[in-house]
Structure 1
Amino acid sequence: MKNFITLVLVFAFTSIYSQKIKVEQGSFDFIVGQKEVNVIFDYDNMKLMKENFTNEEYITKRSADLEEKARGKGKTWEKAWNSSRELIWNPKFLELINKYLGKDKDMYFAEDLQDTKYTLIVETVWLYPGWDAGIMKQPAKVTTNLKFVETANHDTILLEINSKNAPGDQWGNNYSNESRVGEGYAKTAKTLAKLILKKAF
């Protein structure tokens, strides 16, 4: 009974932080007929945790905390964290948006596409890595600004969408901060794809 009550409280708590998505400006008309969209991931100004740490501040603090627990653990984590953008977060986003828009509308999103008319800038605003302690856990949360711009002129914004607190979690236990955040990017991409399908087509 105690475990059941704990689970109910965990689900109730996490539901408070469900994803919110809002169209800030623009329309979806330009998307129709596009077969390829370039993607740029921008992490330059992201903040982390409720304290709004910079990435450098977060790395310093987290690495020091882990080093206190076991020598070398902080350095190992730091390498994993620094590589997670290229190895987990960006690929997760691209995998999910292509899964939905590639299958239904034959659209392809990827980095470094040279000859596309439009570019999607995925600007990370805020991250919360979450935690997993076995029976109790808190999903990661990913907040992004999603801007479709002209590839030739990034100042021309055709559509801007704010995605707040996209949850990152997996069935069962997930003790990797980097993996949980990756699931938040997957959720962001899935929600964006479904919104495009609904509004543009």
Structure 2
Amino acid sequence: MKKIAILSLLFFSGIIMAQDVEVVKGDFKFLSSQKEVNIEFVYSNLKLMKEEMTEEQYVKERSAELNEKSKGKGDIWKKKWEGSKELIWNLKFLELANVVLSKDKKDLVFQEGATNAKYTLIVDVVWIYPGWDAGVMKQAAKVSTVLKFVETANRNNVVLQLNTDKAPGDQWGNNYSNESRIGEGFAKTAKTMSKMILKKAY
């Protein structure tokens, strides 16, 4: 009976994980012959929180809130937020996407600025929930993206599109940095994507 319960739990966990990523268009086969894929990150469509605030609105309100609590704190946070895209989120995605592939001894590499690559992956970040950590209780960050593989020379030709929904971002122990938690959501997204590539492209 105990074995059945455990197997049922694993089965339903698998279903939940599968629902995180939807293949909207295309298949993965074209990736098996590629050595390098260019990658670009887009934040122009980003919404935040359950209220789906624009990034400009979120940053303005959050920085004002923090400045009210402690003068200058919001200004410092704003700079950290702006730097997080290049210094944490994009790098986390790249790192995990490539680590999963290299561990399986695949030659495929995702690389920013690889404009000579036949295909480009556009990571369109559409929604972020930063989560929170109050020590004893916490809520994981969540990241939703649209992943479009396009021909580099013809961006209108989308050969594969994946929609990822609310990838969880969390770490063991406590993590009081919103930006770091969000970074783990990017890592989770990349890890899931690369595992799908291994399963469906090779």
TM-score (norm 2): 0.89
C-alpha deviation, 1:19, in angstroms:
6.6
Structure 1 residue 114: Cα displacement: 2.2
The Cα of 1:18 is off from its aligned counterpart by 9.6
Query: CA–CA distance in 1 between the matches of 2:117 and 2:111?
Result: 10
User: Hey, what does 2:181 align to over in structure 1?
Assistant: 180
Match of 1:164 in 2: 165
- Give 5+ residue unaligned stretches, structure 2: 1-15
Amino acid at match of 2:79: K
| 1:90 paired residue number | 90
| Deviations 1:28-78 (CA, angstroms, capped at 9, x unpaired) | 111111100000000001100011110000000000110110000000000
Q: Which amino acid aligns with 2:169?
A: G
- Contact 1:19 / 1:166 at 8 angstroms: preserved in 2? no
Counterpart Cα distance in 2 of 1:193 and 1:36: 13
In structure 2, what is the Cα distance between the partners aligned to 1:190 and 1:90? 13
The size of the alignment, in residue pairs, is 186
Do the aligned partners of 1:134 and 1:173 also contact (CA within 8 Å) in 2? yes
SS of equivalent to 1:32: helix
Q: How far, CA to CA, are the matches of 2:113 and 2:151 in structure 1?
A: 14
Distance 1:70 1:133 in 2: 19
Q: Per the alignment, in what secondary structure is the counterpart of residue 172 of structure 2?
A: coil
Q: Give the % identical residues.
A: 62
Taking the aligned partners of 2:195 and 2:109, their CA distance within structure 1 comes to: 15
Q: Which runs of 4+ in 1 moved over 3 A?
A: 16-19
* Equivalent residue, structure 1, for 2:121: 120
State how far apart, in whole Å, the 1-side matches of 2:125 and 2:153 are.
Answer: 22
- The runs of 5 or more residues in structure 1 that have no matched partner are 1-15
Kindly provide the amino acid, as one letter, of the partner of residue 21 in structure 2: I
Rounded to whole Å, the distance in 1 between the matches of 2:162 and 2:185 is 16
1:30 matched residue in structure 2: 30
> Does the CA contact (< 8 Å) of 1:19 and 1:165 recur in 2?
no
Q: Distance in 1 between matches of 2:175 and 2:139?
A: 10
Give the CA RMSD over aligned residues.
1.4
Distance 2:18 2:55 in 1: 24
CA distance in 2, matches of 1:21, 1:32: 20
Tell me how far apart the structure 1 counterparts of residues 115 and 40 of structure 2 sit (CA, whole Å): 12
